[in-house]
């Protein structure tokens, strides 16, 4: 019975430590990677082309999820073919960094 208690305690301790083991996204690295995104989504994350989405101030988890879906070709329609091509070249770290960068920008673009 004592061993079972230790096992349960170990599982709880490990699950509590997992978030700390995850690599934090680097918004500065995302900024450096975002140069190609600026052509459509604007230098400050505010699109200058009608119909293109603003990225500034968007939810970080949403941005990461959207980029991963484009990369997996799960998002279609509109400019999906362009985004699929762009996202195909991104690693998971790149996606996390881009999402952190755009989420850190003010939604109004200022």
pLDDT tens by residue, 47-59? 999 999 999 999 9
pLDDT computed for residue 19 by the predictor:
47
pLDDT computed for residue 82 by the predictor:
95
pLDDT computed for residue 23 by the predictor:
64
- Nearest residue to 92 via CA among 102, 100, 82: 100
H helices of the chain, in order, are 2-21, 27-33, 38-41, 60-71, 80-88, 92-104
Contacts of 35 (CB under 8 A, 6+ apart): none
Q: Residue ranges per domain, the chain?
A: 25-104
> What's 25-104's CATH class?
mainly alpha
Higher pLDDT, 93 or 22: 93
Answer whether residue 62 shows pLDDT above 90: yes
Cα dihedral value 76, 77, 79, 80, nearest 10: 0
Three-state SS for 36? helix
| pTM of this structure | 0.78
Tell me, rounded to whole angstroms, the distance of Cα 102 from its chain centroid: 9
């Amino acid at each position: 019975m004592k061993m079972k208690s230790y096992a349960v305690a170990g599982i709880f301790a490990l699950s509590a430590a997992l978030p700390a083991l995850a690599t934090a996204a680097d918004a500065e690295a995302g900024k450096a990677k975002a140069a190609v995104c600026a052509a459509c989504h604007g230098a400050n994350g505010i699109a200058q082309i009608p119909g293109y989405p603003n990225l500034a101030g968007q939810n970080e988890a949403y941005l990461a999820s959207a980029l991963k879906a484009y990369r997996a070709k799960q998002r279609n329609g509109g400019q999906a073919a362009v985004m699929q091509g762009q996202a195909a070249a991104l690693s998971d770290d790149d996606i996390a960094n881009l999402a952190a960068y755009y989420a850190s920008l003010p939604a109004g673009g200022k």
